[in-house]
Structure 1
Amino acid sequence: MIKKSVSRGLLLLAACWMFVLYGAPQALAHDQLKSSSPAKNAVVSAVEEIELEFTARVRLPAVVLHDAGGAAVAVGKPEADGAVVTAAVPQPLPPGRYVVGWRVVSSDGHPIEGEIPFTVKGTASTTPTPSKAPSSSPATDPSTAPAAAASSAAPQPSAPVAATEAGDRSARSVPAWLWATAAVLIVAGAGLLLLRRGRREPEQEE
C-alpha cells in the first residue's frame, strides 16, 4: 500500500510539472503583433493605408494616428479580417514623425495594444527662380540721373545774395501808381523851389 501511494504521488507530481512546463505558458500567452506597414521606426515617402498583422485572429480593432506634436490625424475606420487589421489614410501626410496607436482583442479574449513610430520623409526642395529686376521709375531713370545729381550738387546762394534777391523782389512788388505819385511830387517840389528862387532874385536886386 505504501509503495502504491508513493507511486501515485510521483505520477501526480510529474503531471503537475508537465502542466507547468507546457500547458501554463500556452494558456498565459496572448496574441502578438507579427508585422506592420509602415514598420516600426521606418522612413517612408507616403502612407495610404495602415496594415497590422497579428499571430492569431483578432477582433474589435481600434487604430489612431498622431503627429510629432500629438495632434490627431484622421484615418478611416479600421477593419479586421482574421489576423489582419487595415485602416485607410485618406489625406497625404506632410513630412515629419508620426505614431500609430492600436488596440485589439486577441483570440483568448484579452485586449492588447501597442504603438508604431515612423517618419515621412520630405520632398526635395526646389530652387527658387530669380525674380525679374523692377522697371526703373521716373525718379530713378538713368536719363534723368545726371540732371538730378547736378541740381543736388548746385551751390546754394549765400545769405547776402539771398537778402539782395529778396530786396529786388520787394522793390519789384511796389505798385506802379506809387512810383508815378512819387515822381509827380518830386517834380512839383522842384518847380516850387525854382519859383521861390526866381522871386528872391528881383527882391535882392531892388
Structure 2
Amino acid sequence: MALNLADIRKDYSKQELSPEDCAKSPITQFEQWLKEAMTAEVPEPTAMHVTTVGEDGRPSARIVLLKGIENGQFQFFTNYLSRKGQQIAATPYVAITFFWPELERQVRIEGKIEKLSDEASDQYFNSRPYTSRIGAWASEQSTKISGKSVLVTRAAEFGMKYLTHVPRPPHWGGYGVTPDRVEFWQGRPSRLHDRVLYELNNGEWERSRLAP
C-alpha cells in the first residue's frame, strides 16, 4: 500500500502566542515552555535537534539531550572527537530545535557554541551512572568499528581499569550555546501559526512577530 504523505495534516488550535505574551528574555520564555512541557509529561522534553556545519559547508544533525541552562547558555555533553565535535571545532555556530507536538510548539535557537570549563564538565560527568562513565571511555564516537564486540571488549577493559573512580576522559565534556536568535512557534488553525522572534541587538533582546 502506497503512502499518501500529501494527505497527512493536522489543524493546530490549542493555544495562541504574541510578542506581548512573551517574557522579555528568550531564556525566561524557554524555561517557562520547558516547564510546561515537563508538566504535560511530553516524552523526552529535553531532546533537542542540534545542527552543525563542517569545513565542507555541509550540515549534519542529530538529537541530543539538554542538560542545563546556565549563564544564558544551553548546555549539552558529548565526545569532543565525534563528528559533531570536529564540526563544532571547524564552525563554532549551531542551530537547535525543540519540538513538543503534544503542545503544538517548537523552539528554534541559533548561536555560538563553545566548550564548557573543565570544572563544569567534571561536575556533570561525576553525576552520571558508573556504566555511562565507562561508556564514555569505551566508545570512540563516530568511528567505524568491526562489530558490537569491540565496544563490549573496550567497556570490560576500562571497567577493570576503573573499578570504582572513573575520571572524565580528556576527549569528553560539555558545550554551551549562547543564542543570538530564538524563535517560539505555536501551532494555529489554517496554518496561520503564531511565531515570535527574539533577536539580540547591541546586547538587548528585541521581539517581533513573523508571518507563518
TM-score by length of 2: 0.25
**Bigger RCO of structures 1 and 2 (CA < 8 A, at least 6 apart):** 2
Larger Rg: 1
